[in-house]
């Protein structure tokens, strides 16, 4: 989850203004990040201790001594899932409108795509750009 999904969410937040032509609510983006990071750790950190204590992975039934850590992990998983609803809300509200994004959404962006308006037109360049 952390390697792939967090990278995809980070890329989405980076490119969303360029894709849609609108800025997202940065405060909600920060709240989403922290909720995801906290609930991710609540989900997976107890599982390390469960493994050290000898609980095998992917068991539906387990001895009682593993109950508390599994409950914490389940609580974290539900919170992690619910925090992704905020991610969906941010995307939907950005697509529907908001503050207009400029061509250079971030400070000192690099790449040809940042020389175009947001959102980019269908035929981006009338002639191939010169890259140095």
CA angle 90–71–9, rounded 5-degree value? 25
Percentage of the chain modeled with pLDDT above 70: 100
CA angle 30–25–89, rounded 5-degree value? 90
Per-residue model confidence (pLDDT) at position 25 = 94
Q: Could you tell me the residue ranges of all domains in the chain?
A: 18-56+66-115
The band of 1, judged by pLDDT with boundaries at 50, 70 and 90, is confident
Q: Which one has a higher pLDDT value, 20 or 2?
A: 20
Per-residue model confidence (pLDDT) at position 116 = 83
31, pLDDT greater than 90 = yes
């Amino acid at each position: 989850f952390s390697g792939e999904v967090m990278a995809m969410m980070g890329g989405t937040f980076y490119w969303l203004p360029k894709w849609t032509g609108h800025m997202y609510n940065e405060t909600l983006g920060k709240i989403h990040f922290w909720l995801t990071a906290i609930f991710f750790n609540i989900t997976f950190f107890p599982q390390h201790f469960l493994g050290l204590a000898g609980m095998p992975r992917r068991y539906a039934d387990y001895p009682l001594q593993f109950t508390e850590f599994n409950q914490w992990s389940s609580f974290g998983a539900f919170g992690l899932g619910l925090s992704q609803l905020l991610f969906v809300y941010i995307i939907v509200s950005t697509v529907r409108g908001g503050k207009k994004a400029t061509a250079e959404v971030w400070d000192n962006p690099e790449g040809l795509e940042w020389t175009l308006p947001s959102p980019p037109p269908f035929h981006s360049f009338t002639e191939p750009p010169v890259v140095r």
